[in-house]
A and B are shown apart, each in its own frame.
Chain A
Amino acid sequence: MVRRVAVLLAGMLLAWAAPARAQVDLPALNAALIDGHVAPGYARFATAADGLDDAVGALCAAPTEAGLAAARAAFRGAVAAWSGVQHLRLGPVEADNRYHRIDHWPDRKNAVGRHLARAVDQADQAPVDPDRFRQGSVAVQGLPALERLLYGPDHVAALMAGTGPGRCRVATAITANLAALGGQLAAEWAGPARRPFLHPGPGEALYRTPKEVTGDLVGAFGAGVEMIRDLKLGRVLAADGATRPQRGEWRRAGLGLLALRDSLKAQADLFHAGLDTALETLDDDGALGEAIQSELAAALRLTEDLGDDLTAVLADPDGQRRLALLSSQLSGLKELAAGDLRGALGLGIGFNAFDGD
């Protein structure tokens, strides 16, 4: 018994001492992912949120059809930019419920609708106090509430007719809030938020080693793929083929497919910000990198030429078939991201660390 244990132990020790053939420079990889993907993504969102604030401000100053079209175009730009960082739940967006203040979704019990109605009622009576707005319900502070104001027929009719000041007061409070949040996130990623990611150490609260940082950044890749599959697709297309378009993301604005596609592009952007070249330095014939690349490309191809609106795609049998295919494609991609990619980078599979309960 003891001898058998010793033999097994020796084997384990060897495996332990040489955990990975990876010769990847993890600090350099982390910097590449932050500088090439994370920080630019938030910078784009900040710009889009500023544009949205301007366009909604102009619409509310003078409600015209052209102004409405411009505000909606800016909203589309903000949704696209948000989709570029929506999979990231690390860093400054963790603080003060910022993530949910930008995007309270999924909204199962219509908190957005209920809280928005109340906010509009109150704003009809008195101007919105920015501090109270910021500290109030997260459901009414972000893009989903603004979507209702810019696309919900009753809201739009009242807003264009200038019926009561409430809608515009809330709409501009939302866009000011989004512009402020976007600015804060971009500024923090350009400054102090980088530190724990680029300079992890024993004294740092967030990360002790570069490997932990890489683990979270690679985790964001897998989690992003899972988010697209489970939320953006899974909520509207059940495994049994049933469709529920009313649950779709940005369904009022008809931007569900645009957002899905931009989320997929964000995963590709994250991968190509440095994970691809990191894999090339490994001695595996480039097989894994190529596999992930081709899965990403195949997933994106399935969403091409389908327009912006997810509801329309769900109504079409061929569209449904493509989305079902996309879902299984994403499951394959998730396996590669959570398993093979981690293994190749010497991060460990993180069976418990990254998929615990």
Chain B
Amino acid sequence: MNRRTFLAGAGALALMTKAGGARAATPGFLCTAQRPDGRAAALAFDADGGLRFALDLPARGHGAVVSPDRRHLVVFARRPGLEALVVDAATGAPRHRLRVPDDRRLCGHGAYAGGRLFTTENDFEGERGMLGIWDPARNFERVGEVPSGGIGPHEIVSLGDGLAVANGGILTHPDSGRQKLNLPTMRPVIALFDATGAPTRRVEAPWDLHQVSLRHMTAGPNGDLWIGGQFQGDRRRRVPLVARLGAGGGLTYLPAAEAPLRHLRQYCGSVVLDSSGTVVAISSPRGGAVTFWDARGGAYMGSVDLPDVCALGALPQAGRFVAGSGGAGLCAVAVDAARPRPLARQPMGLSGAEIAWDNHMVAL
């Protein structure tokens, strides 16, 4: 690859993002990150390369969520976390700081439903997952909590009329750092809730796949959930890592085919749907690849290599994503039905290669 193809690639990316515009006027993303000097941050950037704002975080961040009215952005500390930061979604100006009670720890993700913010949390003495409930209308005051339906809740997503929580099944306790305490007996659970936080459905992983920790997911346009797992058992086994939970049906694991599993290396990092609702992208930092899946039938479409990639965001055009790497900056990746192909590696805003992009990004 020479300079000219790179220029063409970069130009194509800029054109592509400008021409998109299916959603907001100028698409943008916020991604948690680590600065070259090791400080934790979250950076908001435009899809065509400009830095919007940078937030300094007191500790390593993880996921983030935008409020339904798009005014607020909430950035969550990595588990076991104590704080989440609420900022103005356009400017990054600080608005509120959420702090969990002493006997809870944040798990790094949150989602809105029914006008409230829900955060996944660990009740470590009770050895159960919880959802913290916060009221944006009352300065994000903590107004309650409900059990999350399992152990080790991780990603939580809005379903329009409710919520879905991926309980990964792994027990941790702050007095043991991030050590996993229950691998022989772990049991992932996908739990669904209505908009008030009342449980409506609880789907346990089958016992023969109980060590595939179901942690990250995205909701498709028809209410299907696409779920990525991380295998905690014998890595020489070939187990399915990607599952789908139909709005009415059960949990279906996509076949453990050799090609995608080789790229995922037993570990799904982020699961994101494209803007057209037809392609699911699943990253694997361990495999150094982004894999693509047909969101209609579940067929595997192929992959693009990017070392240490994890964070993913949907660009405005179908099949296109921005991906963040720990060591190789930001990269636009795309898939077409025939052949997945990388578009360009484009540093955005701050010199991309010097920023270690952390696990997750959110579209602004």
Q: Which residues of the partner chain B approach A238 to less than 8 Å between Cβ atoms?
A: 175
Are A350's CB and B308's CB within 8 A? yes
- A196's nearest neighbour on chain B, judged by CB, is B236
Are B49's CB and A1's CB within 8 A? yes
Q: How far is the CA of A12 from the CA of B329 in the complex (A)?
A: 9
Interface check B313, CB cutoff 8 A? no
Cβ distance A11 to chain B, nearest Cβ, rounded Å: 7
Interface check B7, CB cutoff 8 A? yes
Q: How far is the CA of A230 from the CA of B345 in the complex (A)?
A: 38
B1-41 to A contact mask, C-beta < 8 Å, 1/0:
10100110011001000000000000000000010000000
- B60's nearest neighbour on chain A, judged by CB, is A355
Interface residues of B: mostly helix, strand, loop or mixed? Answer: loop
Cβ distance B279 to chain A, nearest Cβ, rounded Å: 22
Are A357's CB and B79's CB within 8 A? yes
Are B10's CB and A9's CB within 8 A? yes
Interface check A109, CB cutoff 8 A? yes
Q: Which residues of the partner chain A approach B356 to less than 8 Å between Cβ atoms?
A: 349, 351
Interface check B184, CB cutoff 8 A? yes
Q: How far is the CA of A234 from the CA of B154 in the complex (A)?
A: 24
Are A206's CB and B308's CB within 8 A? no
Interface check B47, CB cutoff 8 A? no
Known contacts A2-B11, A235-B175, A352-B358; A10 and B262 CB within 8 A of each other:
no
Are A231's CB and B179's CB within 8 A? yes
Interface check A132, CB cutoff 8 A? no
Are B353's CB and A10's CB within 8 A? no
Of the residues B48, B127, B183, contact of A108 by C-beta under 8 Å: B127
- B347's nearest neighbour on chain A, judged by CB, is A8
Q: Which residues of the partner chain A approach B326 to less than 8 Å between Cβ atoms?
A: 348-353
Are B310's CB and A95's CB within 8 A? no
Are A234's CB and B34's CB within 8 A? no
B343-364 to A contact mask, C-beta < 8 Å, 1/0:
0011100011100111100000
Are A353's CB and B285's CB within 8 A? yes
Q: Which residues of the partner chain A approach B3 to less than 8 Å between Cβ atoms?
A: 6, 9-10
Interface check A106, CB cutoff 8 A? yes
- A223's nearest neighbour on chain B, judged by CB, is B179
Q: Which residues of the partner chain B approach A205 to less than 8 Å between Cβ atoms?
A: 235-236, 238, 261-262
Instruction: Report B254-305 residues with CB < 8 Å from chain A CB.
Output: 261-262, 265, 267, 269, 285-286, 288
Q: How far is the CA of A138 from the CA of B127 in the complex (A)?
A: 19
Interface check A96, CB cutoff 8 A? yes
Are B347's CB and A108's CB within 8 A? no
Are B325's CB and A206's CB within 8 A? no
Known contacts A12-B353, A352-B326, A353-B285; A5 and B34 CB within 8 A of each other:
no
Interface check B173, CB cutoff 8 A? yes
Are A9's CB and B345's CB within 8 A? yes
Known contacts A2-B14, A12-B352, A205-B238; A353 and B181 CB within 8 A of each other:
no
Instruction: Report A61-120 residues with CB < 8 Å from chain B CB.
Output: 90, 94-97, 100-101, 104, 106, 108-109
Cβ distance A279 to chain B, nearest Cβ, rounded Å: 20
Of the residues A5, A16, A196, A350, contact of B328 by C-beta under 8 Å: A16
Interface check A227, CB cutoff 8 A? yes
Instruction: Report A238-292 residues with CB < 8 Å from chain B CB.
Output: 238, 247
Known contacts A205-B238, A349-B326; A9 and B176 CB within 8 A of each other:
no
Interface check B340, CB cutoff 8 A? no
Known contacts A94-B233, A94-B236, A206-B235; A352 and B179 CB within 8 A of each other:
no
Are B236's CB and A357's CB within 8 A? no
Are A100's CB and B184's CB within 8 A? yes
Cβ distance A331 to chain B, nearest Cβ, rounded Å: 11
Interface check B78, CB cutoff 8 A? yes
Known contacts A350-B326, A351-B326; A5 and B183 CB within 8 A of each other:
no
Cβ distance B60 to chain A, nearest Cβ, rounded Å: 9
Q: Which residues of the partner chain B approach A5 to less than 8 Å between Cβ atoms?
A: 10, 49, 346-347
Interface check B62, CB cutoff 8 A? yes
Q: Which of A12, A97, A227, A357 has the most CB of B within 10 A?
A: A357
Known contacts A5-B347, A205-B236; A353 and B6 CB within 8 A of each other:
no
Are A348's CB and B327's CB within 8 A? yes
Q: How far is the CA of A350 from the CA of B10 in the complex (A)?
A: 26
Interface check B177, CB cutoff 8 A? yes
Cβ distance B229 to chain A, nearest Cβ, rounded Å: 13
Interface check B319, CB cutoff 8 A? no
Are B7's CB and A356's CB within 8 A? no
Are B310's CB and A352's CB within 8 A? yes
Cβ distance A39 to chain B, nearest Cβ, rounded Å: 17
Q: Which residues of the partner chain B approach A18 to less than 8 Å between Cβ atoms?
A: none
Known contacts A206-B235, A234-B175, A353-B285; A6 and B6 CB within 8 A of each other:
yes
Q: Which residues of the partner chain B approach A28 to less than 8 Å between Cβ atoms?
A: none
Interface check B309, CB cutoff 8 A? yes
Of the residues B11, B234, B359, contact of A356 by C-beta under 8 Å: B359
Q: Which residues of the partner chain A approach B359 to less than 8 Å between Cβ atoms?
A: 352, 356-357
Interface check B108, CB cutoff 8 A? yes
Interface check A15, CB cutoff 8 A? yes
B227-264 to A contact mask, C-beta < 8 Å, 1/0:
00000011110100000000000000000000001100
Instruction: Report A1-44 residues with CB < 8 Å from chain B CB.
Output: 1-2, 5-6, 8-13, 15-16
Interface check B342, CB cutoff 8 A? no
B310-333 to A contact mask, C-beta < 8 Å, 1/0:
100000000000000111110000
The 3 closest A-B pairs by CB, nearest first: A351-B326, A230-B177, A352-B285
Beyond contacts A8-B347, A205-B262, A351-B34: 16 other A-B pairs, Cβ-Cβ < 8 A, are: A2-B10, A6-B10, A8-B352, A9-B3, A9-B345, A13-B6, A94-B233, A94-B234, A205-B261, A238-B175, A350-B326, A351-B326, A351-B356, A352-B285, A352-B357, A357-B108
Interchain Cβ contacts under 8 Å between A and B, 12 examples: A1-B14, A6-B3, A95-B236, A96-B234, A106-B179, A106-B181, A108-B127, A108-B173, A229-B177, A350-B308, A351-B327, A356-B267
Chain A residues in contact with chain B, CB under 8 A?
1-2, 5-6, 8-13, 15-16, 90, 94-97, 100-101, 104, 106, 108-109, 138, 196, 202, 205-206, 208, 212, 226-227, 229-231, 234-235, 238, 247, 348-353, 356-357
